[in-house]
Amino acid sequence: MNAVGAGWGLSGRVLIYGLGRSGRGVMRFLAREGVRAEWVDARPTPEDEALASELGFGRGDVARPYDTVVAAPGVPIDHPDLIRLREQGAEVIGEVVVAARARPQLPMVGITGTAGKGSTTVLIAHLLRACGVRAREGGNIDPPLLDVVDDAEVAVVELSSFQLERVPGLRLPVAVITNLGVDHLDRHRTVEAYHAAKHNITAGQEEEDVLVVPAGLEIDTRAEVRAFDPAALRLHDGAPVLSPDDLPEGLHPANAAAALLATEALLVRLGRAANPPVLAAALKSAEPVAGRFETVARLGEIRFVEDSIATRTLAVQAALERARPPVAWLVGGRDKGADLEPLRRAAEGRVLRVIAFGEDGEALARGLGVPYDTVGGATGDEVMANAARAGLAALQGTGTVLLAPIGTSFDLFRDYKARGESFARAARALCTEVQA
């Protein structure tokens, strides 16, 4: 089971630790490259086992030594098995490093942050395509990065803190940090460790590379730092591109400002010019990522906005700031220790009423300083229907019913997508009922 690796950095014995979405992408890619590997997963699905068998990959054993371990982001970097494998001499990397070593001529733009990284990733790819660049997005956002590297002139990669724990030697010509807040303390334990993982996005950059950050964020880097300002959508030389007021609904100005600077830097890297009118037209035609501050229904002057993924304080705050007031704010799910004080400030003067639902909805609502109602139901769908109805009743013919829940979805739904889809169905059914 030797991995030849075609001379691109995977050598000796290779172990894929953790299957799932990332691991499947790694298996498919290594099989195409003619690289043999073994795999380990604590709870493999029948589909994962079938794919491994089809590709000729056998089960591994952490008691055996390996040269390279490609660890899925869902596996903590300090997992006892990974510690043991490193002690036995293995290098632990992730799919991003596999892509970088296998395709060293493929430029990559990396995007991370506590909030907005997925939307910014999709927007950068959209802007590059508008400029004639065959850009493909992947990584933490679907699809896996290794599924798109051979169909891309540029790879635009969303990078989570988990992925950035396993990127030794990764050098990105352009990197973006959208913001830094608090998240994943159950995994990283401290804010400092979480931020250190995020900072790894620039660890391998050199002086000729570019790091795009929010104005005011100081970070130790060798790269050229370019700061974005959501109040001014412009290029690095100050050339204006578009007024933030002209952005489509659902596009956050901060994400657009960061995307413009990153797109410009990558175009220059490719020897192409950034054309402000082309970029302005591309911004106007951009669509928000499904499930991220998406208007899912309208009833006259009332919009129903689904942002079920908004469970981080920064993401919820951004949703509140973008929603057209007055706002009926749907809050609930399972509390993961969000900092509510910034949300109290963001809600002041904008939120008319909080609609609390789910396991910790009322407890969260009590900490927000806004009048609230509670709703329940026998099923998740019934809860969402009752919440949408209560939100509509709280408004007087205008405003926004906003699902930006703070809590995770696992009390009532399998994931945030299922919760968002339930809210969208409820909102559309309610609009149809009222208009009938």
Instruction: Give the separation between CA 355 and CA 361, rounded to whole angstroms.
Output: 8
Report whether 71 contacts 17 (CB < 8 A): yes
Number of Cβ within 10 Å of residue 376's Cβ equals 12
The arrangement of strands across the sheet holding 372-374 comes to: 294-299, 301-306, 398-406, 327-332, 351-357, 372-374
C-alpha separations of 176 from 108, 143, 161 in Å: 11, 20, 13
The answer to the question of whether 99 is labelled as a binding residue is no
Amino acid at 354: V
The answer to the question of whether 118 is labelled as a binding residue is yes
> Would residue 44 be called left, alpha or beta, if left means φ above 0 and alpha means ψ between -120 and 50 degrees?
beta
The answer to the question of whether 250 is labelled as a binding residue is no
DSSP 303-343: EEEE-TT--SHHHHHHHHHHSPSSEEEEEESB------HHH
- Of 241, 312, 301, give the one whose Cα is nearest residue 277: 241
The answer to the question of whether 160 is labelled as a binding residue is no
What's the distance, CA 126 to chain centroid? 16
The answer to the question of whether 120 is labelled as a binding residue is no
Report whether 379 contacts 351 (CB < 8 A): no
The answer to the question of whether 22 is labelled as a binding residue is no
The answer to the question of whether 409 is labelled as a binding residue is no
Instruction: Give the separation between CA 210 and CA 175, rounded to whole angstroms.
Output: 6
* Binding-site sequence positions: 113-119
- List, as residue ranges, the binding site for ATP: 113-119
